[in-house]
Chains A and B, each alone.
Chain A
Amino acid sequence: MIHSLFLINPSGDIFLEKHWKSVVSRSVCDYFLEAKEKALEPEDVPPVIHTPRHYLISIYRDKLFFLSVIQTEVPPLFVIEFLHRVAEMIQDYFGECSETVVKDNMVMVYELLEEMLDNGFPLATESNVLKEMIRPPTILRSVVNTLTGTSNIGDTLPTGQLSTIPWRRAGVKYTNNEAYFDVVEEIDAILDQSGTTVFAEIQGVVGACVKLSGMPDLTLSFMNPRLLDDVSFHPCVRYKRWESERVLSFIPPDGNFTLMTYHVNAQNLVAIPVYVKQSISFFESGSGGRLDVTVGPKQTMGKTVEGVMVTVHLPKTILSVNLTATQGSYTYDNGTKLLVWDIGKLNPQKLPNLRGSLSLQAGAPKPEENPSLNIDLKIQQLAISGLKVNRLDMFGEKYKPFKGVKYITKAGKFQVRT
């Protein structure tokens, strides 16, 4: 299956390699680097590259390339999914996934990779299991380790590895037992010039932070589960129970995890919380143009819209911008031609507006297409689909846990075409 892994930074340096079978020479990466040179953006590098003797499957994440070498047929998603797990594991252990972090913890990352695969086949990818085998670094622990000479390596087999619920470790104890759930919904939408919705859907995630002692068995039910069009679960959720009763019944992993993701696909039901009035025009003469953007609240269910941000990729021929914002501030990077207008909270009384002139490079023709606007926003205490958690019950343990649910609506891939 997975033969080797190389971590490569954007400038093309290989800074970590791990082989699970016999050693594959680094030179195999040359094919990849060649493809990388060809691509304009790092995102455009094809994920699967076919070389004479090997197949290279790579992901680009957190400004790093994770490149795996394959020799025989294997489902490409199998590899891609695993590489993402590696990135998530690094993130989980060290707080972020970056070149510096990996270099600083080279040995630990290497050991983790050793544990995650055996002969190229995933052995332990559950964070809970890994953490029992190799404890994540903390300041306190490193101090203790240097004083007492103990190590970060666990010496017993993690119990999770053996049971059918590998995501939970045994003997969890908390003084404060609490279970918090975050319902985060993202609106993916494409609006056209006139503001009509071309496409809209809601993607939701129920994240959880569960800190409960023992082996609690939780049941989470929704007021209106019929809303959910398509769902995917953490392995702990019992499918059959969902199919028959539409409740989430599960023994939770310890700590933070994503319980489920869902999809609400009802074109006309999706409330679009903001409207955008925009006009971007370029003069026929080709010397410049005007930009005028106003953002206002639309269907917000009585909540305030916060963290509004408008991002515009201006055409390459733009030389400079001269704009004024009635609210918030804007930044323009002439290198990437990226205009970012950070508005903040949306005030229905006084609508924020950004207007001004754009000047083009001398002699450049009038741009063909107007750039599209990407909108970012956030609404606290609201799930835009109307999904509501009904109740959370706990079985199997005696104590009474603290429970809480938080709702947030965000803009996902929210694009306004101009």
Chain B
Amino acid sequence: MSTNNLSYNDQGGSDSAVEVGQETTPTSSSNAGAGFGLFSTNFKKNDDLKEMLESNKDSLKLDAMKRIIALIAKGKNASELFPAVVKNVASKNIELKKLVYVYLVRYAEEQQDLALLSISTFQRALKDPNQLIRASALRVLSSIRVPIIVPIMMLAIKEAASDMSPYVRKTSAHAIQKLYSLDPDQKEHLIEVIDKLLKDKSTLVAGSVVMAFEEVCPDRIDLIHKNYRKLCNLLVDVEEWGQVVIISMLTRYARTQFTSPWREVSGGGNSETAFYESDEKKTENEDEKKSYMMDPDHRLLLRNTKPLLQSRNTAVVVSVAQLYWHLAPKHEVGVITKSLVRLLRSHREVQYIVLQNIATMSIQRKGMFEPYMKSFYVRSTDATHIKSLKLEILTSLANEANISTILREFQTYVKSQDKEFAAGTIQAIGRCATNISEVTDTCLQGLVLLLSNRDETVVAESVVVIKKLLQTQPTQHSDIIKHMAKLFDNIAVPMARASILWLMGEYCERVPQIAPDVLRKVAKSFTSEEDIVKLQTVNLAAKLYLTNSKQTKLLTQYILNLGKYDQNYDIRDRTRFIRQLIVPNEKSGALGKYARRILLAPKPAPVLESTYKDRDRYQLGTLSHTINTKASGYLELSDWPAVAPDQSVRNVEVIEPVRIHLYLYCPFPLTIQALHQGSVCVCQCLYHKVSCYFVSVCNASQDCIHNRARFVCLCRVCLCVCVLESSSEVESDEEKSSSQSSEESDKSSSQSEKSSSESDSEQKKKTTKKPPQKKTVKPTAKDRLHGFVPKKCLSRSLCFSLYTHPCPLSCAALLQVSGPAFVPEKSHDLLHRMTGKGLSAQYQFPRQPCLYQPSMVSVQISLTNTSDRPLEQIHIGDRSPTGLNMHCFNTIECLLPEASVTVSLGIDFNDSTQAANFQLCTKEDQFSVSIQPAVGELFLPITMTEQDFRQEQGKRLGMNESSATITMAAANTTSQPISRQVATVANLGVVPSGQDNIHRFAGKTASTGAVVLVTVELRGESTALITINTEKSVMGPMLLRDLKRALAQA
């Protein structure tokens, strides 16, 4: 230290006291930028800082530390104070401690030996009961870039990775990257930790660990398999920065694991080119097209990322957009357009990146952004690079239909004060003109008008563009060439002069009078021209010499002589070459004969292309895409595999599938499967046997320790909203029952759970005698929130929803009857009160499996006494046909005036729509009534998977198939209304479908249990093909007729 002091004195001796005074107030702005006298003033100041740090008072130390940090922030060196600072690392004062940490992280690398002094403090802090302290200790420890402590860091990371607190685990994920950059040899160990953390279910950890994965081992895609579905499901709840990282990782993952969804499109393209090929191949193609089925996991990713397009974070929006661009089927990519256009309102820098991405997209897919063309109109206040990007996009979007609008807009831009931008516009006009042949002439005329513009850049640019345009159709435009020749005197911009010279040479035969004159003019000024003009002059001379040697021989000689002694070797070379080529002498070789063919060969017109044409080789949204070169660390997006790798690698064994069952009276019972770390909750609607959308978990925390958690669930089929609130009783119940359930074996428990839950709900209904009501989305459902009773709650473990992984019980469940998808409220008159002498009866089909006999269809009859006297002994009398198997209700002894009662019947219709006739009797009277079921009521919905559906369908072809093509009502073209309409007509269950345009429904007849399969396939805008497969050859066409009627109407 003493040597240091000495050196201070040596250099700082001349320092003035005034400056020292200034320096003691480090926050004053006066000294901020002044980098000069600082070296000297620092030394003096450092002395007193050292004293302050060594004092006993925390406040003095704190002041000193603040000044030191301010020095660091300004980028000044404070490393000499290291020993004094590091002593305070164990300080009790938390603010002081934090500042010391900040200092340590900055200078530990330079002062490795001294930094080791602090390590033990951190090691102690890693065991602290406070998670904040544990986390920050790990943060600082891992930020100290000292190779010696690698083993200590490794140990700390491993320990932290299994810490109780997700925050500490998150910190450990960050530490992994730091350790990796310090010592890449630790890779294998770190991958182990990453693997462990990837399994973590906390949303807090997910983003950080994926970041570590991307940095350390982006090629270890096998680590992702098991966590893929979890990551997809957690995604919405991960913090926004993590979302960006996870999405880009999943994009790469999906490109290696799924087959291309674009096959149909490329197939379509092929079929055009395959016009000359054999028909056989064509059909093959089509078969292939049909057979593409999107992997459910692929679909899961697309579905779960879509809501993030609404994120406020622009990076998230663009990363979802690139995911859709690279992964989604072509017809689905359109969803990203709106969101990207929205970002154009954001900051200038954001606009820049977004426009770049749009520029690349719009080259391949014009249609996507065309409706938003006007959003790319340029404002005079836009920055230059924004303007040129917008111009680029507008040019890409131009087509026959909108070109006139775009050109009119371009006319405004040409007049802009920003001349660089005006020049860009002229180039854009040129591109439009070559791409769209209809407007070439108009553009050319417009550009010629610009030649009389006062601004030279505009004129020069016009000349260059006109030159390119003329090349495409030179025949008609000799007058334009003449006009340009006249301009030659006035234009000074080299590129434009060169362009004119080239034009003269190329079309010299068209303007035989003028071309030699231009050559004469340029020969005069040859020595003072730019290189590019000189080269073109030599060219022009050579061409004229070949075509019109009489007039230009001398001129050419003169120019070639000048060129021979030019300073630029390019020009010298060119001159020498041309001379040998065209001037006949004894040495001129074989080439001389071909001079004319070489120089005056017809040249192909230039293709004016976007500069963004080749950018699609980079993944959109990446840095590499922006700078158009491969940035270090850029990970290539692989091509789709031809054959999808094994899908089952993503299956996750469900450990202890324990569920919380929360029964609601209304509207539907739901099974809640809760996942405790993090906030994923998957509900299953018991009636629909489908997973519900989990909407949210409200309230402070869904930590299990908390007494209250609230779930809002949305049924996928009926869109019922249910709000479930678990109360403290849930907790206690849970404790009790969890012990019971753990004894049950895996498979049987889930199976029995299913059936028991069903029967439970069945019983519930019986006792309450309330049929489940139809509920569409109604906020009023909230009124009933308090009505549910938690019955059996099991938790503390996770389950996965049925649709996110293939159900292992699919075979057993094939013919399993599920709840109705929809229960129509419509009731039919059984007995009018006038004919029934005061007794009125109405019936409806509750669509429940009949409790009395499975082959029966249950019918609900509501009896109302509208007379003024009580009716006694209401029962069912004779029935016909006599063999009619029917379960009657118990005799109602007495029905008071104005009272009504609902009873249920079971009728075996024997799978026919023949009416069931019977007599409804009171004490005095008998009324003949009949119930005629619609064909759709004779079914019971069943659940099956898509594969099973196809399998079953394959068994029922030919005679057993009836189909029809119909024109759909406009309102029915999306999945929701179709499911609803079909469910209204017939009691069928929805079969989850992988394709958006195909809807499948399945059921079986009540009586004989024959399977009925309905497929609605949307074809084009409004046509649809309905196919019904069933052995019941009578019921098939009847059902078809009903469905046609329902779907065709609004």
Contact = CB atoms under 8 A, between A and B. Distances in A.
Interface in B175-191: 177-178, 181
Given A239-B307, A244-B714, A100 B73 contact: no
B699 interface: yes
Interface in A161-212: 161-164, 166, 170, 188, 190, 192, 198-199, 201, 203
Interface in B889-916: none
Interface stretch (A89-97, A148-156, A347-355): A148-156
B568 interface: no
B714 A103 contact: no
A415 interface: yes
B145 A22 contact: yes
B310 A107 contact: no
A369 B627 contact: no
Interface in B750-807: 777, 779, 782
Nearest to A153: B95
A81 interface: yes
A244 B719 contact: yes
Contacts of A199: 374-375, 377
Interface string A231-269: 111110011111111010101000000100101000100
Interface of A is mostly: mixed
A19 B105 CA distance: 10
A417 B412 contact: yes
A17 B70 CA distance: 10
Contacts of B379: 190, 413, 415
A23 B627 CA distance: 24
B94 to A, nearest CB: 5
A110 interface: yes
Contacts, number: 293
A41 B417 CA distance: 15
A114 interface: yes
Contacts of A261: 312, 342, 345
Interface string B155-186: 00000000001110001001001100100000
A39 B420 CA distance: 13
A43 B623 contact: no
Interface string B357-375: 0000000000000000011
B75 interface: yes
B244 interface: yes
Contact of B312 (A39, A76, A258): A258
A121 B58 contact: no
A304 interface: no
Contact of A232 (B102, B312, B697, B719): B312
A5 to B, nearest CB: 10
Contacts of B353: 47-48, 76-77, 80
B11 to A, nearest CB: 22
A233 B379 CA distance: 27
B174 A73 contact: no
Contacts of B203: 164
B311 A233 contact: yes
A70 interface: yes
Given A81-B314, A162-B204, A240-B714, A118 B93 contact: no
A164 B203 CA distance: 8
A72 interface: yes
A75 B627 contact: no
A198 B782 CA distance: 47
B695 A152 contact: no
A103 B347 contact: no
Contacts of A39: 384
Contact of B380 (A58, A198, A201, A372): A372
B438 interface: no
Contacts of B314: 77, 80-81
B241 interface: yes
Contacts of A9: 33
Given A121-B208, A157-B132, A239-B236, A75 B73 contact: no
Contact of A48 (B33, B165, B623, B721): B623
A107 B26 CA distance: 10
Interface string B306-329: 010011111101110000000000
A15 B74 contact: yes
A230 interface: yes
B93 A241 contact: no
A71 B385 CA distance: 24
Contact of B73 (A73, A106, A152, A239): A106
Contacts of A107: 27, 66, 69-70, 73, 99
Contacts of B319: 75, 77
B506 to A, nearest CB: 32
Nearest to A66: B349
Contacts of A368: 415, 417, 453-455
Contacts of A417: 412
A61 B377 CA distance: 24
B237 A247 contact: no
B29 A100 contact: yes
B629 interface: yes
Interface stretch (B527-535, B542-550, B632-640, B1020-1028): B632-640
B339 interface: yes
B416 interface: yes
B721 to A, nearest CB: 8
Contact of A47 (B75, B349, B622): B349
B317 A17 contact: no
B972 interface: no
A106 B143 contact: no
For A55, A99, A156, A368, the residue with the greatest tally of chain B CB atoms inside 10 Å of its CB is A368
A16 B73 contact: yes
A125 interface: yes
A337 B779 CA distance: 58
B129 to A, nearest CB: 12
A343 interface: no
Contact of A151 (B93, B315, B345, B377): B93
Given A74-B623, A232-B311, A245 B697 contact: no
B695 A76 contact: no
A105 interface: yes
A198 B374 CA distance: 8
Nearest to B97: A153
Contacts of A77: 314-315, 318-319, 350, 353-354, 621
User: When A and B form their complex, which 9 residue pairs have the shortest distance between CB atoms, in order from nearest?
Assistant: A72-B633, A151-B95, A157-B132, A239-B307, A369-B415, A13-B33, A47-B349, A77-B315, A122-B241
29 contacts: A9-B33, A14-B75, A16-B75, A17-B73, A43-B383, A48-B352, A48-B353, A48-B623, A71-B633, A73-B622, A73-B624, A75-B622, A80-B347, A81-B314, A106-B69, A107-B70, A107-B73, A157-B131, A161-B204, A162-B167, A162-B204, A215-B698, A232-B342, A233-B312, A234-B312, A240-B307, A242-B310, A251-B698, A368-B455
Given A73-B622, A105-B27, 12 more contacts: A21-B181, A73-B624, A75-B622, A104-B27, A106-B27, A162-B167, A163-B700, A188-B345, A233-B310, A245-B777, A261-B312, A396-B710
Interface of B: 26-29, 32-33, 58-59, 62, 66, 69-70, 72-75, 93-95, 98-99, 102, 106, 109, 130-132, 135, 139, 142-143, 145, 165-167, 171, 174, 177-178, 181, 203-204, 208, 211, 236-237, 239-241, 244, 248, 307, 310-315, 317-319, 338-339, 341-342, 345, 347-350, 352-354, 374-375, 377, 379-381, 383-385, 409, 412, 415-417, 453-455, 621-624, 626-627, 629, 631-635, 678-679, 693-702, 710, 712, 714, 719, 721, 777, 779, 782
Interface of A: 1, 9, 13-19, 21-23, 26, 39-41, 43-44, 46-48, 50, 55, 58-61, 70-78, 80-84, 99-100, 103-107, 109-111, 114, 118-119, 121-123, 125, 149, 151-153, 155-157, 161-164, 166, 170, 188, 190, 192, 198-199, 201, 203, 215, 217, 219, 229-235, 238-245, 247, 249, 251, 258, 261, 263, 267, 313, 315-316, 365, 367-369, 371-372, 374, 395-396, 413, 415, 417
